[in-house]
Amino acid sequence: MNIETDHRGNTAPPAPEIANLEQLDERLRWLSSWTIHNANHLRENRDGLKVGGHQASCASMTAIMAALYFHALGPNDRVAVKPHAGPVLHAINYLLGRQSLDKLKTFRGFGGAQSYPSRTKDSIPVDFSTGSVGLGVAITAFASLVQDYVIAHGWNAPESAGRMVALMGDAELDEGNIYECLIEGYKHDLRNCWWIIDYNRQSLDATTADRMFRRFDDIFETCGWRVITLKHGKMQQAAFARPGGKALRDWIENCPNADFAALTYQGGSAWRERLERDLADSKATLKLLADYDDAALHMLMTNLGGHCMESLVEAFDDAADEKPTVFIAYTVKGFGLPLAGHKDNHAGLMTPTQIGTLREDMGIAEGEEWEPYAGLGGNAAQALKDFVRKSPLAAREPESPAETYSVPAITVPSGAMQSTQGAFGKILHELAKSDSELAAHLVTTSPDVTVSTNLGAWVNQRGLFRRQELQDVFQHARIPSTQKWSGHAAGQHLELGIAEHNLFLALAAFGLAGPLFGKRVLPIGTVYDPFIARGLDVLNYACYQDARFLLVATPSGLTLGPEGGAHQSINTPLIGMGQPGLTYFEPAFADELALLMEWSFDHMQRDDGGSVYLRLSTREIEQVPREDSGWRTDAVKGGYWLKRPGSETQAALAFTGAIAPEVLRAWAMLAEDVEGLGLLNVTSPDLLHRDWSARQASRWQAEAAPPSHVETLLGALPAEAGLVTVIDGSPGALSWLGGVRGQRVSALGTDRFGQTGDLIDLYREYRLDPDAIVEAAAELFLR
């Protein structure tokens, strides 16, 4: 008996929907391959750089994405697409009429379709930006928690809940943040989340370790997930049921990943030679193999679950409840392409001859490569168009702006001696006691430092967010405690474990609640300032997709002296200045903090706004008296004169943050000898620098921008006056001020790892005490 199959390995005519999905699989494989080919071989290359793309990574995902997007997805589902499958997402939207031909032709070119899906750079609907592998996966779990939050607070109906879906390559499972996320999801009873693994067992450099075969199942099952493994397609399953099939199945189960990949690349004759040698003792199996010619045998051996449309549809339908589910879909990297299985195919590109052969096999005429349904007959093309048009995804409404909330005036906490962190806690406590619209839509979160970052009073008032009631055992037992934390559906604090990656993923997900779920939430995340660096990749990822949040970090610099160098930050001001989409402030006084929080809550909601980073301190300092409120306008622009300079002064001191007492003492020591000595309080080195840079760039535009704020501030000084800049952080955050008007600068700051000690010793050692500031000023006069 000779087994005859069609080109997909089917032995019987497929059902109409399966047939349509299989045609879409081919459409997506072709369009993604051609888009990458055009960018690398046909489009003019003016700079000689490799354009790149990932034809093999796309090909291993096309069946999965066809089944997901045109069968399984509902209008409220959201998807994070595997970064290297970005061209497939563009192809899907091209078929839906949401992506333009021009964008496809300029893939990876300026203004064209982006290399990796981007919420902010692509014109197609993108639910989650991806690119830094692993992060797009993990954010779907936090987005599901945010969806629960929105529903629990009565803002969306329970029946509106969609699935948060991640498509990932198996190499992404090496990313540690995946497992941090799994643990956090288990704590919070994660639901409505699908992760679909393109298990092609090939990464950039190598094939996946064979010993991981069962470990992934174990890990997910332990964390409460349902695991659905799609290893064998229907054609393989049918072969296994025949005499000799069990031996064939056992051989496949035990075949090393590298061997399977190599045989896939070599094709049918190589499969036959290897199988006949290894299974020579099984006459039934040899007879089974003899029923397949080389082409059919190759189809049989590569008929894995991740390419079998019927298996995919069944698996997705079997996971229709809210239980978190991981699908391990075995695939061939480069499936259907001449690159299939080759260990170098990750960044490999088909040659013009190879893609020409693929075009001929699909019946696509030259010049019709961009036609969405080229190669199909008129009736077949129309039927497939209708199928796409009627898919649930086609009915999905575009994202619309979420409502904004008015920001009430924030009362300045009272007290002659205050720290900015303490004032932050008092401000939130007062908001928690209010019935303002703003307070109702705030949510706080912290990686196990809720108490030590002064969020405790807020949580006492507003509670922990839990879908099920969580009793405060200590309070119920009447054991005295300052923390009275009960958990309930109306709670407004998400308590996290100590992983900073999870903090920033939570902030990203909450910060996208408006576009994703139609209801804006204003998240506030607190963290120890030095540990921003531990989540820096995720912070960048959150800002890249324009998530909106308030990051509050403390302590700044050396100000938590006895904790030592591990808790003393150095370069975080430079992070704040260098991160797009994030505005960094470092207030010195409580009234500045109150003002900047008002500004932040408004900025987070503006169309042209963004996220905000407040660098605070636990150091209590004496608050300065105010003669009037004139300083406020300049403070939100990045700086103001605490002591205005005289018209002929020789110098000014400029400082940022909790170093204020040392600078004020130094100013008092110098003012006796330096007439008109200025004192500039820089509340945001970031805003000052950004404004100045924009002003510089505008000189080459048709209409120059007005002078920047820092130019106006420093314009109060004589051109020859020098500057002493002081910050408990990297001196580079302020030393650039000298470049604004070409003034001499003595820059003080922290550029070495700290150590334990009190502030008197530390500031003396690191040259931040009043004597060092006076000496830096004297140096200016000696130059």
| 731 φ, ψ (degrees, to nearest 5) | -60, -20
Q: Helix, strand or coil for residue 378?
A: helix
- Token pair, residue 462, equals 């507003």
Q: Where are the alpha helices (DSSP H) in 294-391?
A: 294-301, 309-317, 352-361, 378-389
Rounded to the nearest 10 degrees, what angle do helices 268-278 and 257-266 cross at?
Answer: 130
Query: Are 409 and 599 in contact, with CB atoms under 8 Å apart?
Result: no
Beta bridge partners of 722: 651
Contacts of residue 243, defined as CB under 8 A and 6 or more positions apart, other chains included, come to: 284, 287, 288
Distances in Å between the alpha carbon of 468 and those of 284, 329, 346?
A: 57, 33, 45
Read off the amino acid at residue 594: A
* Tokens matching residue 248: 């064939």
Three-state SS for 337? coil
Q: Sheet containing 325-330: give its strands across.
A: 78-80, 164-169, 193-199, 325-330, 226-230
| Rounded-to-integer distance, Cα 534 and Cα 572, Å | 12
pTM: 0.94
Confidence at residue 274, expressed as pLDDT on a 0 to 100 scale:
96
Q: Which residues of the chain have pLDDT under 70?
A: 1-13, 202-214, 472-476, 478, 783
Contacts of residue 275, Cβ cutoff 8 Å, sequence gap at least 6:
248, 251, 285, 289
Query: What gap in Å lies between CA 530 and CA 565, rounded to an integer?
Result: 9
643 φ, ψ to 5°?
-130, 110
Say if residues 182 and 218 touch (Cβ distance below 8 Å). Answer: no
Do the Cβ atoms of 519 and 513 come closer than 8 Å?
yes
* Contact indicator for 462, 432 with CB cutoff of 8 Å: yes
Give 695-730 as a DSSP string.
HHHHTTSSSPPPPPHHHHHHTTS-TT-EEEEEESS-
For residues 184 and 189, what is the distance between their CA atoms, to the nearest angstrom?
A: 9
